[in-house]
Amino acid sequence: MTTDAPGRRQVTLRDVAQLAGVSVATASKAINGKAEVSAETRRRVLDVAERLSFTPNALARAMLDGHTGTVGLLTHDLEGRFSLPILMGAEDAFGAGRSSVLLCDSRGDAIREQHHLSTLLGRRVDGLIVVGSQTDARPPLGRDLPVPVVYTYAPSTDPADASVVPDNVTAGRIAVEHLLATGRRRIAHVSGDVTYAAATDRAAGADAALAEHGLERVGPVRYGSWSEAWGRSSVAALLEQDVDAVVCGSDQIARGVLDALHDRGVRVPDDVAVIGFDNWEPMIAGCRPALTSIDMNFQIMGRRAAERLFASQEGRDPGGVETVTPRVIVRESTGG
Amino acid sequence: MTTDAPGRRQVTLRDVAQLAGVSVATASKAINGKAEVSAETRRRVLDVAERLSFTPNALARAMLDGHTGTVGLLTHDLEGRFSLPILMGAEDAFGAGRSSVLLCDSRGDAIREQHHLSTLLGRRVDGLIVVGSQTDARPPLGRDLPVPVVYTYAPSTDPADASVVPDNVTAGRIAVEHLLATGRRRIAHVSGDVTYAAATDRAAGADAALAEHGLERVGPVRYGSWSEAWGRSSVAALLEQDVDAVVCGSDQIARGVLDALHDRGVRVPDDVAVIGFDNWEPMIAGCRPALTSIDMNFQIMGRRAAERLFASQEGRDPGGVETVTPRVIVRESTGG
DNA sequence: AGCGTCACCGAAAACCGTTTCGGAAGGTTT
DNA sequence: AAACCTTCCGAAACGGTTTTCGGTGACGCT
């Protein structure tokens, strides 16, 4: 009466060969599609391999060709809702290329990051993806690392490193252009923490788009915090001027704005259009009316990071910062 | 002018030994703190190791002792906000025990799950944690797996398997007991999709707690969907009866209820108390007033799953389903 | 029949970096 | 001189896979 020990030994190539009545060498060739095996033998081997659900030992392979087929993913905070779509995009791309992801969360701690770095290098990952916590640049992991590194969300401070980042300037531009296209002209801007590059970049893009159309923002960019509460409390000041649209620095802020407008009897989108950033489903799901939002395409960012990592491994990535273009998701709040 | 190719070959123990002028064997002992090395030699070896930033190859080590120090984490949907805290809890526990996490997302697809299973086994993980998508039981991964498995969130249908699940019945009970303790007596219940065990379990626990105090629920359990919209639209029916508290199946539903009550001028918590489940920060952050909620302690679940996996590896886990007790986070909406 | 060619297969080596085992050199104690 | 430490080294083992290379039998050609 033991604990039902997970005893079953792993199936090896030798087991397959034995059961198929061939040598290990032949079994290997059959499975790897090498030429010098008769069709009949190959079929038999493959049959047995299937039946035993044989999986070649990745470690043994790694020893031979020097590639482990694993990549390290170093994130700064899993909690943040930005890491997740990036991670999914990357996992997707790697899954297709038969690489596996070793996940490490440094919790924003540089010491922990270094520690995770050495374990990952000890496991001989083929590459690393580093996911930052803000869009502000961060110092590179280290010099002369034995594997390629791609920074994402936050670029490396070294412009020669490979980085994939969201394009917040264009995001701001797209938001304004959408509002202009739907006939708005008097556009105000409420955003989050001014110390975040994401906030100022979006504002810069928005202003640029306005300027190109010979318009000016209504009022200052009202920086505050990334919260619904800030969105709500900003509305009083906003309505002191004549506005027909509000660009909100995040979906959370937008939701606060929507709430406050609703309480004051301001109709959306009839009187005022509202647009947010991030296209964060759970936040948007509850908005009334449904919120138009700029999707930063984080999942695509993750995929691009993975693709560039592959390219780096083959020595054909030029390095440098690459931006991912966001897209607008039109819903009711802008009168779509 | 090459791309600063991360060409630097990985540093091996042999390199260190050579440069330190000792044999590989001695270098190994020096680095691993074995006794039979003179202090002088040890210092020299460690110096060189440091200078070359030598990192021992974990794969080679794995060959010797048979343990890779990696565990597979198979999740059904990363998007779901439940996987994440579980993952964090597990990553935490593993990080402390020097194990690394190989992450796979099966996207709710059984085929993909099997595929990921084979790759993980091919990488010779020391164990597996499977994170389900609902709290309903799920079929085990397979028979006679060569490594221990711990199921979490969703238990395995085989009661002998090791499972760690949230205790939704107790969660419902705790919610009601909190309301009773703050003086409420006429308690209604709005919940999500009736096909989710999480919904019916919570309701069962809530009803049980009421019964123990000689009370009955006001009206039926109003099952619907896990959305704010459902929370809002349920309020009309709720207010047809005299209620002084509403148990909501999730924070989202609770938020919808709060919104609708606010629109109708019903004061919270003065007239009606509201309580939710999951303690989902981003949803709660925007609630007015701040929402009291039952935290299912997912992070603890993840940690327990990791701990039981360790125990299994040493053959000292008895198997069976373990529940994690939730806790109430008191905020304004229940007049705390 | 004898020979060469060809397709197929198997035994054994190579492979990787680490740890460990047995032993050896040299000095010290008994 | 024997016994014993200390300190180090060479070589084996580890565990699977892939690869090399020589062998075997069938077959065609003269």
Per residue of chain B (336 residues), give pLDDT as tens.
333 445 567 899 999 999 999 999 999 999 998 888 899 999 999 999 999 999 999 999 998 888 999 999 999 988 778 888 999 999 989 888 789 999 999 988 999 999 999 999 999 999 999 999 888 899 999 888 999 999 999 999 999 999 999 999 999 999 999 999 999 999 999 999 999 999 999 999 999 999 999 999 999 999 999 999 999 999 999 999 999 999 999 999 999 999 999 999 999 999 999 999 999 988 898 898 999 999 999 999 999 999 999 999 888 999 999 999 999 999 999 985
CA distance B215 to chain A (A): 33
For the record, the structure tokens of A165 come out as 């980042």
42-81 on A, CB < 7 Å from strand D = 54, 56-57, 60-61, 63-64
SS3 state at A67? coil
Sequence-ordered list of residues with C-beta below 8 angstroms from that of A276, at least 6 positions apart, any chain: A248, A250, A251, A252, A253, A254, A255, A284, A291, A292, A293, A294
Q: Pick the closest to residue A310 from A186, A139, A157, A164 (CA basis).
A: A164
Going by DSSP bridges, is the β-strand pair A149-152/B292-295 parallel, antiparallel, or unpaired? Answer: unpaired
B119, B141, B308: best mutation site toward chain A, by most A Cβ within 10 Å?
B119
Q: Do A70 and B123 touch (CB under 8 A)?
A: yes
- The label of the residue with tokens 């060959």 reads B63
**Is the pLDDT score of A178 beyond 50?**
yes
CA distance B102 to B123: 9
Q: What is the arithmetic mean of pLDDT over A191-208?
A: 97
Buried b (16+ CB within 10 A) or exposed e, B244-274: bbbbbbbbbbbbbbbbbbbeeebebbeebbb
pLDDT band at A63 (very low <50, low <70, confident <90, very high): confident
For the record, the structure tokens of B53 come out as 């930033």
**Is the pLDDT score of A336 beyond 80?**
no
Q: Do B285 and A312 touch (CB under 8 A)?
A: no
All structural domains of chain B: 13-56 (1.10.260.40), 69-166+298-324 (3.40.50.2300), 168-296 (3.40.50.2300)
For the record, the structure tokens of A267 come out as 């109709």
Predicted confidence at residue B307, as pLDDT, reads: 95
Residue B34 vs residue A303, higher pLDDT: A303
Residues in A touching B59 (Cβ below 8 Å): 59, 62-63, 68, 123-124
CA distance A125 to A229: 44
Given strand A100-105, what is the order of strands in its sheet? A320-324, A162-166, A149-152, A127-131, A70-75, A100-105, B100-105, B70-75, B127-131, B149-152, B162-166, B320-324
Q: Do A10 and B124 touch (CB under 8 A)?
A: yes
Kindly state the DSSP code that residue B276 receives in the 8-state scheme: E
Predicted confidence at residue B336, as pLDDT, reads: 59
Residues in B touching A91 (Cβ below 8 Å): 78, 103-105
Specify whether the CB–CB gap between A247 and A206 falls below 8 A.
Answer: yes
Q: Which nucleotide is nearest to B55 (CA to C1')?
A: C17
**Minimal-distance CA residue of chain A relative to B99:** A119
Q: Do A58 and B3 touch (CB under 8 A)?
A: no
Residue-wise pLDDT for A5-50, tens only, equals: 556 678 899 999 999 999 999 999 999 988 788 889 999 999 999 9
SS3 state at B277? strand
Q: What is the arithmetic mean of pLDDT over A248-255?
A: 97
Specify whether the CB–CB gap between A269 and A296 falls below 8 A.
Answer: no
Residue in B95, B119, B229 closest to A100 by CB:
B119
Q: Do B59 and A124 touch (CB under 8 A)?
A: yes
Q: Tell me, rounded to whole angstroms, the distance of Cα B49 from its chain centroid.
A: 39
49-68 on B, CB < 7 Å from strand D = 60, 63-64, 66
Predicted confidence at residue A277, as pLDDT, reads: 98
